[in-house]
């Protein structure tokens, strides 16, 4: 492990030392300088590097993935206080404030393995791969156009939440739902509730719709395989950095989002996916 960088758990104490400044400095205009921030992600117990970890800055609204050597790089970060977080399957998510100097910084992030009952990291990787294969297979089996956005695309986006990501990164622009659509709109029945009944209510409470094939519709939205009654509105409450995969089916008729928390559970025990229920 490098000796010229400090573990993330110590950065808070260092930040407290660096924060005091003169009155003149405090009154100065905020700096427009952007500086590099890079570092490496380690396993806190073994000292080995952790590749594929999602590292993101809450203040910047975007993130990066650590490479095969555990190294991550932000090319242009505002100097000053930042909140940096890291997440990887099989490890506890960690977050801590850091003070980024004007010359940039190198930091080390140590992730603590979660006490899950698996045969080591290999089982975690295998189970995540199993779920990704199932997602790809389901997308390939769909009879209509399908788009999927992976964690790297989502992390690098400047969008603050999943709904904004759809607006900025795709051609599915949210528009206000007209009367009769969205809020208990057409096609949303409360009869014969149960899983399929709840699925039909997906988007029933949404105020956001999209234009699809010249018609305004409230898409079916699923978050972690659970029907979202609030439809597109619910996507607004999920920061982009918390979404592992976003799938869009049949020109926006159905949207499925999967969080890191869901994929972490799948790392322990993969599950079968719900079939796609596309509109005509």
Domains and CATH numbers, the chain: 8-111 (2.60.40.1120), 121-268 (2.170.130)
Which residue, among 176, 159, 280, has the nearest Cα to 218 in the 3D structure? 176
Predicted structure pTM score? 0.77
Query: What tokens does 231 get?
Result: 């439809």
**Confidence class of residue 235 from pLDDT cuts 50, 70 and 90?**
very high
Nearest to 135 by CA among 1, 250, 246: 246
**Residue, of 11 and 66, whose pLDDT is higher:** 66
Helix (H) / strand (E) element for 22: namely none
The token duo for 27 is 């009154």
For residues 47-59, average pLDDT: 91
Q: Which residues pair with 222 in a beta bridge?
A: 227, 256
The whole-angstrom separation of Cα 15 and Cα 264 is 31
183: Cβ contacts below 8 Å, ≥ 6 apart: 177, 204, 205, 206, 207
Mean pLDDT of 249-274: 90
Using CA atoms, how far apart are residues 170 and 187, in angstroms rounded to an integer? 25
Q: What is the largest CA-CA distance in the chain?
A: 68
Distance CA 126, CA 50 (A): 16
Question: What are the pLDDT digits (tens) for 155-177?
Answer: 988 898 999 999 998 888 889 99
Query: How far is the CA of 212 from the CAs of 122, 206, 209, 215, 217, in angstroms?
Result: 43, 16, 9, 5, 7
**Lowest mean pLDDT: which of 116-120, 168-172, 196-200, 211-215?**
196-200
Q: Is 118 helix (H, G, I), strand (E, B) or coil?
A: coil
Average pLDDT over residues 218-242: 92
- In the numeric block, the tokens 């189970």 are attached to 127
| Overall average pLDDT of the 100-125 stretch | 81
Give the integer Cα–Cα distance in Å for 11 and 16.
9
**b/e map of 59-90 (b: 16 or more CB within 10 Å)?**
ebbbbbbbeeebebebeebbbbebebbbbbbb
How far apart (Å, rounded) are the C-alpha atoms in residues 222 and 248?
11
75-98: per-residue pLDDT in tens? 888 899 999 999 998 899 999 899
**Quick check: helix, strand or coil at residue 136?**
helix
Report helix, strand or coil for 241.
Answer: helix
Q: What percent of the chain has pLDDT over 90?
A: 46
Whether the pLDDT of residue 241 is over 70: the answer is yes
């Amino acid at each position: 492990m490098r000796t010229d960088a400090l573990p993330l758990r110590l950065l808070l104490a260092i930040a407290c030392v660096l924060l005091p400044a003169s009155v003149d400095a405090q009154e100065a205009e905020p700096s427009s300088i952007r500086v590099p921030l890079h570092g490496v992600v380690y396993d806190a117990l073994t000292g080995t590097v952790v590749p594929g970890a999602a590292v993101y800055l809450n203040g910047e609204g975007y993130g990066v993935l650590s490479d095969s050597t555990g190294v991550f790089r932000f090319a242009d970060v505002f100097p000053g206080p930042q909140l940096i977080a890291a997440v990887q399957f099989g490890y506890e998510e960690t977050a801590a404030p850091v003070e980024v100097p004007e010359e940039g910084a190198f930091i080390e992030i140590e992730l603590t393995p979660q006490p899950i009952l698996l045969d080591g990291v290999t089982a975690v990787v295998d189970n995540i791969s199993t779920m990704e294969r199932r997602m790809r297979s389901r997308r390939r089996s769909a009879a209509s156009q399908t788009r999927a956005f992976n964690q790297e695309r989502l992390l690098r986006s400047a969008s603050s939440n999943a709904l904004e990501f759809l607006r900025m990164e795709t051609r599915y622009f949210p528009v206000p739902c007209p009367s009769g659509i969205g809020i208990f709109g057409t096609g949303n029945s409360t009869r014969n509730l149960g899983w399929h009944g709840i699925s039909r209510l997906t988007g029933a409470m949404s105020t956001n719709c999209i234009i699809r094939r010249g018609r305004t519709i409230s898409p079916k939205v699923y978050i972690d395989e659970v029907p979202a009654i609030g439809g597109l509105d619910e996507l607004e409450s999920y920061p982009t950095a918390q979404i592992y995969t976003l799938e869009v089916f049949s020109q926006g008729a159905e949207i499925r989002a999967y969080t890191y928390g869901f994929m972490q559970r799948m790392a322990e025990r993969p599950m079968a996916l719900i079939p796609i229920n596309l509109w005509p």
